[in-house]
Amino acid sequence: MENTKRLAKEGIKQNYSGADYYDLVIIGSGVTGLSSGLMWLKNTRDKKTLILEKNPYPGGYITAYRRGAYVFETTQLFPDVVDILDYLGLEIKLKPYTGTFMRRLVVDGDEVDEYRIPVGPDNFTDYLCEEFPEDAAKIRKLMAYEADLFRQVRKLKVLPSLGDKLRTPFIAPKVVANLNRTYAGLLDRFNIKDIKLREVLETFTAFSGVPASRASAIVAAGARLSSMTRCFRPYGYYDEFPAKMSELFQKLGGEMRFKAEVERIVVKDGRVSGVMIKGDGGMIRAGAVITTVDPNVGMKRLLGEENLSADYRRRLAGVVMSASSINVALGLDDRIDMTKMDLEPPYNVISTGLGTSEKLFDASQAGGHAFSKDCFHMAVLSPSLVTGPPNTVTIRGVPFGLGEWANWREKDQKRYKEEKEKWAKFFVEIIERHFIPNLSKHIKLTDVSTPATYARYSGSPTASIYDMAALVTQFGPKRLPMKTPVANLYQPKFAHGIYGGMMNGVQVVDMMLDGSFNGGNSLFVPK
């Protein structure tokens, strides 16, 4: 069956007027850029606002694309951002998940442990207590602590005053206690020693390719709760979400320009004054600029380190970006019944056991990988179970380093093709064994996205897919500040993904408007 339905992103056309001045220019039309634009216009209305995007369509990594008869997606889960959508007046039809949140397989040689993690934090707690009854008391204490920790984060300010700082130990003592604690350290605090239990719990840090021994405990707890509390996916393709955001942005008076790669952020007398577009002769003047791209691009290449303070340059030099990925998208024939493959959960995750994340992360940071038949971490999903036929399956392996991928793509297409075929075969064999029997017999089309693909699409020098790595050393006050050393130049880097991107927009615009709609809060607590 041919899928001829037009992708939502294809309906978004640029409406750039060619004006030479905008109150706000936003670089990048991913979720962060779109959220920033929407928050700005909702709370200013009469301000001239422009979003610049180097690609032909909005959405960044939240997208869908067509290959032959098949449509593939790049996103796995729509987390609980419903309150933000309601605030913006953004209407999108979402499918709620009410049963299983994750089918989790842990492989150790010929032994496979399978877990059916339910939707909802309370249900998850009960499930873990049933699976690990000897640790039930520890589990309930840990889960209650994490929930309270997340509630306390809501009480903190993005730009705290001296008074706010003095009050923090009293209103958010758990946040203070965990600022320098990894998620592994948090499990240690509650004496969680059972290896199999830790394998399940540490899954939530592996989502972003970061091992529990390096991941921020606060970020890990927040990621779990924001994804499990209420989780969804669009009934259509994922590109519908940024398309709806773009439509609303334009309806509110915002302008969008595609195929417009920023070449330079222009600074005059210590203040941002505009941007230069590659191939254009003049400058687009701006009262303020928000850059949402990789900080190594936005602050080093576009702005120039000569415009940065020595302290900021040191912090920038120490930034660790997240790893990249290999994504294998499969178009299948209609002889396979995907409804019988048990892939309905938003997450189906398979990996080897404890120690895997550390090996994969270290190797990816060195520019390579540690994937083998004895060491792997991947997710598998079937979007066509919701979007309809033809049948599709997507397999994602994380983390990979960029390594030689870009060089192969540019200079050795034969090797590049061979490597893609090798990894597609590797992924398919694992999934065929544990999720979809005889998968290889039903494949009609294979499309492989490599780290070189992500580097080309995003412009990230490291092909990062989760922006700044969610390390404990890069959390909270240790993360790059949204206010840059250049006046009226902002770089929102609260977190990654749909939830993180939406909150990036909330925080940066609220900061620019002196806390007028969110009260300067770290999380979404509108006035």
- Sequence spans of domains, the chain: 8-94+235-320+466-512, 122-230, 323-458
Query: Percentage of the chain surpassing pLDDT 70?
Result: 99
**CB 256 within 8 Å of CB 58:** yes
SS3 readout for 128-186: HHHHCHHHHHHHHHHHHHHHHHHHHHCCCECCCCHHHHHHHHHHCHHHHHHCCCEHHHH
pLDDT at 228: 86
Considering only CA atoms, which of 291, 297, 245 is closest in space to residue 31? Answer: 245
pLDDT at 205: 87
- Asked if the model's pLDDT at residue 3 lies above 70, the reply is no
> How many CB atoms lie under 10 A from the CB of residue 464?
25
Mean pLDDT (whole number) for 30-54: 96
Cut 0.85: pTM above it: yes
pLDDT at 4: 60
Backbone angles phi, psi at 420, to 5 degrees: -65, -45
Mean pLDDT (whole number) for 460-464: 94
In whole angstroms, what separates CA 431 from the centre of its chain?
Answer: 24
pLDDT at 1: 54
> How many CB atoms lie under 10 A from the CB of residue 461?
15
Count of alpha carbons within 13 Å of 16, Cβ hemisphere only?
A: 15
Q: Which two tokens stand for residue 372?
A: 């083998």
Q: What is the CATH number of domain 8-94+235-320+466-512?
A: 3.50.50.60
**CB 435 within 8 Å of CB 380:** yes
Residues 255-269: tens digit of each pLDDT: 999 999 999 999 999
- Asked if the model's pLDDT at residue 141 lies above 70, the reply is yes
Band of the pLDDT at 284, cuts 50, 70, 90? very high
**CB 58 within 8 Å of CB 34:** yes
Q: Which two tokens stand for residue 193?
A: 């020693």
